[in-house]
């Protein structure tokens, strides 16, 4: 019964969705790590990005993968603006205020989407939607394979940005030492907004990779944001590699859980692993002590 020919495709499928989880979680962990903001609007912004991809395709016939630069930059702009002109001001520097502001933003964005686009679930059809790739051991749908490769590529680019550029160094410096950062001339508000913008750009990319094999509705963010939070905590708050690793683990767990317990109980395994890891490593897999 436990045949390799079933197990292996399930693992591969899990890795593809896991890479998307990782990408969404990377944005979340970047924003948390630098701004110490738990961004409740993360899921709604992903939903917004998915609608962006959807309308670019249905109104203008733009392929989701070609829309990637547009949606990525648009989400970056939205994120930058939100942090610089809304969250930063409304928070008055208090974490609990910021928490409420992002929660409020998510309520507004979601209900605006419900009002404008109704609660319908929508999908797009691309020429490659039902194409598969033969890996010898398993068949993988083309959109999923692209999503996997794309997500890992973006994660690698993000890592290069964080370690090889002055912007990345400034972001990491600001995460730990605000006054030192000011004294080398880092513009704190600007770098905060850049971090938020880059975190949101990850959502734009995730949306483009996701939609060819997924759907969009005003509530679509919920499914992802809960998992993304789990990934972030599992990997260790603020840890990049942790988010990547956590995303893949969660993806595979979900996929295998679905295989053994059925689709509706698939996510059960996620939270089991989550609880077990936290029991033994309260800071997450790769998290540092506070």
> What residues make contact with other proteins under the rule CB under 8 A?
166, 169-170, 172-173, 175-177, 179-187
Contact 233, 284 (CB under 8 A): yes
- The least distance separating other proteins from the CB of residue 80, rounded to whole angstroms, comes to 18
Instruction: Give the closest residue to 203 by CA, choosing from 68, 65, 99.
Output: 68
End-to-end Cα distance, the chain: 46
Q: What is the DSSP letter of 265?
A: G
- Complex with other proteins: residue 122 or 169, whichever CB lies closer: 169
- Complex with other proteins: residue 87 or 186, whichever CB lies closer: 186
- The least distance separating other proteins from the CB of residue 163, rounded to whole angstroms, comes to 8
- The least distance separating other proteins from the CB of residue 252, rounded to whole angstroms, comes to 30
- Complex with other proteins: residue 31 or 78, whichever CB lies closer: 31
> DSSP string spanning 99-126?
HHHHHHHHHHHHHHHHHHH-S--B----
**How many Å apart are CA 122 and CA 110, to the nearest integer?**
16
- The least distance separating other proteins from the CB of residue 157, rounded to whole angstroms, comes to 19
Residue 83: strand, helix, or coil:
helix
- Complex with other proteins: residue 146 or 285, whichever CB lies closer: 285
Give the number of other CB atoms < 10 A from CB of residue 112: 13
- Complex with other proteins: residue 121 or 163, whichever CB lies closer: 163
- The least distance separating other proteins from the CB of residue 182, rounded to whole angstroms, comes to 4
Q: How many residues does the chain have?
A: 290
């Amino acid at each position: 019964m436990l045949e390799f020919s079933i197990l292996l495709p399930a693992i591969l499928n899990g890795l593809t969705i896991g890479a998307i989880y990782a990408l969404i979680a990377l944005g979340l962990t970047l924003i948390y790590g630098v701004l110490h903001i738990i961004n409740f609007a993360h899921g709604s912004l992903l939903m917004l990005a998915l609608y962006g991809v959807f309308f670019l395709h249905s109104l203008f016939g733009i392929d989701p993968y070609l829309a990637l630069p547009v949606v990525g930059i648009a989400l970056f702009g939205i994120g930058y603006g939100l942090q610089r002109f809304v969250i930063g001001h409304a928070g008055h520097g208090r974490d609990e205020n910021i928490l409420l502001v992002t929660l409020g933003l998510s309520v507004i964005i979601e209900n605006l989407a419900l009002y404008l686009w109704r609660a319908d679930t929508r999908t797009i059809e691309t020429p490659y939607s039902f194409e598969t790739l033969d890996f010898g051991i398993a068949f993988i749908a083309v959109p999923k394979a692209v999503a996997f490769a794309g997500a890992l590529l973006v994660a690698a680019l993000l890592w290069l940005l964080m370690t090889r550029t002055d912007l990345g160094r400034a972001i990491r410096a600001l995460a730990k030492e605000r006054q030192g950062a000011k004294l080398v001339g880092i513009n704190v508000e600007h770098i905060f907004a850049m971090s938020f913008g880059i975190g949101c750009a990850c959502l734009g990319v995730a949306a483009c990779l996701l939609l060819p094999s997924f759907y969009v509705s005003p509530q679509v963010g919920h499914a992802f944001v809960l998992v993304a939070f789990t990934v972030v905590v599992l990997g260790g708050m603020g840890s990049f590699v942790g988010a990547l690793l956590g995303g893949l683990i969660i993806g595979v767990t979900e996929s295998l859980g679905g295989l053994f317990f059925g689709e509706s109980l698939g996510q059960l395994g996620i939270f089991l692993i989550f609880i077990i890891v936290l029991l033994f490593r309260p800071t997450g897999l790769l998290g540092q002590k506070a």
